[in-house]
Structure 1
Amino acid sequence: MAVVTDTLKLFLAGDVMTARGIDSVLPHPGDPRLYEAYVKNAGVYVQLAERLNGSIPHPVDFTYVWGDALDEFGLRQPQVRIINLETAVSRHGRPEQKGINYRMSPENFPAISAAGIDCCVLANNHVLDWGTAGLAETLDTLSSNGMCSAGAGHDRQSAEAPAVLPQPGGRRLLVYGLGTPDSGIPPDWVATDRHAGVARLEDLSRQSLRPVAKRILEGKSPGDLVVASIHWGGNWGFDIPQEQVRFAHALIDKAGVDLVHGHSSHHIKGIEVYREHLILYGCGDLLNDYEGIEGHTAFRGDLGLMYFAALDPSGRLQSLDLIPTRLRRFRICRAEGDDRQWLHDTLSRECARLGCSIQLGADNAFALRW
């Protein structure tokens, strides 16, 4: 049996979107102009949030948006912290013709570093919102801040390469970022030998799996653990397509992946443990500026989870603790009362379909059982 010191403790989150309204209240806001059909200034999103939940005394400091999450990090001390960064980090580039374009000021990037994040996954449908110039500045900003990234790069090789996170004893955690068309990633965003972009899968077929499995197996050394972080599916809906289930299982069976980290849905989705390996099909949003925007209220996109997973040296799941959260005034707060109950009941229902259950754990957490 592995000793406790061999356990790898991970924090994982779904979308972290720090653009528009959030960028506006941070110390160094960028250009507030927007190119959306109905909203032309990022300050409108601040006004909507304040109308719903009260005044935001901006500028806020870089730690503000993390709120109660910082206490959870202090309590649980994860060794690796991984998020899907759902925005460009740039003052340059031109807005892509897609209706919604996210970017935060590079000078505000310390808001990400303030939470001790180790790896930003970039294979999503917003990292190129400001074109290749915006992507280039995003990559440069992350690099200059000592931040690892995965899933986007200056060319195919760098986009497909994993983030390499050294661990004690000479071991490594490898994080591969991948994205699919149904998450909204345009076909011309794919990284090529001559063009910057994202590691975009054409589909979730066996044919698409083969090159992914090949590079993961070739890049993995004895003792390494692998996270496949995938931006897939639409924004709304609890159903998990069978092709996602098959692809996640195949990543574990054929590619040596130890944990599948799925995101794109704006709300939580079901969790599976397959052959003792964790599959998160949709982590929901952890941070965004959507307060006060109407629609899709049945999915409670303002509620989320912090995912704390412990893996043994072989990559098998030892435990998963889930911290219920609610966004208020662009800040992560603990979900309480009816909000917490909604998260518990919804997660219990969705996990039961995948052979798991949710129990009340210590320190206000939910605990996964399988």
Structure 2
Amino acid sequence: MSDTISIFMCGDVMTGRGIDQVLPYPGNPLLHEFYMKNARGYLELAERESGRIPHPVSFSSIWGDALGELERIAPDLKIVNLETSITKSNDYWKGKPVHYRMNPLNIPCITAPRIDCCSLANNHTLDWGYTGLAETIETLKKAHVKSAGAGWNLKEAETPALLDVDGKGRVIVFSFGSETSGIPLEWAALGNRPGVNLLKDLSDSAVRHIREQVQKVKQRRDIVIASIHWGDNWGYEIPHEQIQFAHMLIDYAGIDIVHGHSSHHVKGIEVYQDRPIIYGCGDFLNDYEGISGYEFFRGDLGLMYFAYAEPASGRLVRFQMTPTHTKHFRVNRASTPDAVWLSNILNREGKRFGTRVVLNKDHTLTLEWD
């Protein structure tokens, strides 16, 4: 669709711990978790669950079938929530139960699918301290991958990523985090303190502040995305304050797409004022294979989200999804039963929002809305 800007989005991309250990340059596997003391333990859990994972793997292999899908659809831009510190730092954040870390030498696993922008305002960006944060941002910069949501001070953390789409317009990505996703309050960037772009709350004043930021940069033919890390890991319920906040971002702050993540499974989708709101993308890539406890939610299933928006109006024209299944530390196309399961979940959770999906012959999903 030549008159639209097409954007790929997905949920949490976690390339640390077990996944880092199967990449060409595994980093220090030492962990400080109650559950696990060595990152190779997560590889052992996955192999116990699904069989041997030959390694080292290529940088692109972890993306699996997603690479072919990205090549087939060829979106103008690709945006992910990167939930991993890219660093060799050993300065782990004490008191935090889980720490994700990937060796900077493995950065080609992020550039392999040509990711354009990483959202960093999440609960793992500072897992390895301020040194880890600085190295994460610098590594992405050197790899020519833009980022938003974290910085050496509040001004840097609030600064959006500006992405040009030749001949069409721009996409502006703001990244925000909420304490409800497990981000420590001490991680909030301040005037002279490094950190993430942490929302104090989901209030009217927060919306007004975001509106001021948007107005400073938004121009004609710009699509503005609010990438928000919020809410619990498990559960389909969407709090009223999240719904109200998302609506206000669209009504008053000039946001065109709400890219919500943190939930480890897919949640409902809304189209409000012809703008999409993804309340929870679900995980896209992680090392959780073999960890039991929440099988009911099928956290191993995810979606590739493709939004097509008019740059002149910001209006959503089309919304497609490709169901995925993570296995062997790799993104795979979901089976027919799994694609049906995901479509049923989206239809069930979309009822309150007036959205539904159609399962196509190729097992992709098309979103419909009232």
Say yes or no: TM over 0.5.
yes
Q: What is aligned with 1:9? A: 6
Q: Is the 8 A contact 2:268 2:346 kept in 1?
A: yes
Q: What is aligned with 2:46? A: 49
Q: Any unmatched runs of 5+ in structure 1?
A: none
SS of residue matched to 1:245: helix
Cα distance, 1:345 vs. partner?
1.1
Q: What is aligned with 1:279? A: 277
2:176 corresponds to which of 175, 178, 200: 178
Cα distance, 1:63 vs. partner?
0.6
Q: Is the 8 A contact 1:93 1:132 kept in 2?
A: no
Q: What is aligned with 2:157? A: 159
Q: Indicate how the Cα distance of structure 1 residues 135 and 93 shifts in structure 2: closer, same or farther if over 3 A, else same.
A: farther
Q: Is the 8 A contact 1:27 1:61 kept in 2?
A: yes
Cα distance, 1:142 vs. partner?
0.4
Cα distance, 1:121 vs. partner?
0.2
Percent identity, aligned pairs only, is: 52
Q: Indicate how the Cα distance of structure 1 residues 273 and 170 shifts in structure 2: closer, same or farther if over 3 A, else same.
A: closer
SS of residue matched to 2:259: strand
Q: Is the 8 A contact 1:310 1:317 kept in 2?
A: yes
2:202 corresponds to which of 192, 200, 204: 204
The correspondence of residues 62-77 of structure 1 with structure 2, limited to 5 A, is 62-77=59-74
> Are residues 1:247 and 2:245 paired?
yes
The correspondence of residues 27-46 of structure 1 with structure 2, limited to 5 A, is 27-46=24-43
**Which amino acid in 1 is paired with 2:82?**
L
Count of residues in correspondence between the two structures: 367
Distance 1:237 1:156 in 2: 32
Distance 1:140 1:274 in 2: 37
Q: What is aligned with 1:336? A: 335
2:132 corresponds to which of 134, 138, 153: 134
1:83 corresponds to which of 58, 80, 84: 80
Distance 1:146 1:264 in 2: 25
Q: What is aligned with 1:222? A: 220
Cα distance, 1:351 vs. partner?
1.1
SS of residue matched to 2:167: helix
Distance 1:16 1:218 in 2: 30
Q: Is the 8 A contact 1:161 1:176 kept in 2?
A: yes
2:15 corresponds to which of 18, 22, 25: 18
Distance 1:337 1:69 in 2: 16
Distance 2:55 2:351 in 1: 43
Distance 1:315 1:261 in 2: 15
> Are residues 1:321 and 2:320 paired?
yes
**Which amino acid in 2 is paired with 1:94?**
D
Q: Where do 4+ consecutive residues of structure 1 move more than 6 Å?
A: none
TM-score (norm 2): 0.97
Distance 1:337 1:369 in 2: 20
Deviates more, 1:164-173 or 1:26-35: 164-173
Q: Any unmatched runs of 5+ in structure 2?
A: none
The two structures, once aligned, show a CA RMSD in angstroms of 1.0
Distance 1:55 1:318 in 2: 43
Deviates more, 1:141-150 or 1:46-55: 46-55
Deviates more, 1:169-178 or 1:146-155: 169-178
Distance 1:118 1:93 in 2: 28
Q: Is the 8 A contact 2:340 2:359 kept in 1?
A: no
Distance 1:73 1:222 in 2: 28
SS of residue matched to 2:109: helix
Q: Is the 8 A contact 1:325 1:335 kept in 2?
A: yes
Cα distance, 1:207 vs. partner?
1.6
Distance 1:142 1:130 in 2: 16
Q: Is the 8 A contact 2:178 2:200 kept in 1?
A: yes
SS of residue matched to 1:165: strand
Distance 2:51 2:16 in 1: 20
Q: What is aligned with 1:357? A: 356
Q: Is the 8 A contact 2:5 2:168 kept in 1?
A: no
Q: Is the 8 A contact 2:336 2:363 kept in 1?
A: no
Q: Is the 8 A contact 1:236 1:265 kept in 2?
A: yes
**Which amino acid in 1 is paired with 2:77?**
V
The correspondence of residues 284-323 of structure 1 with structure 2, limited to 5 A, is 284-313=282-311, 314-323=313-322
Distance 1:184 1:129 in 2: 12
**Which amino acid in 2 is paired with 1:365?**
T
Cα distance, 1:93 vs. partner?
4.3
Cα distance, 1:156 vs. partner?
0.7
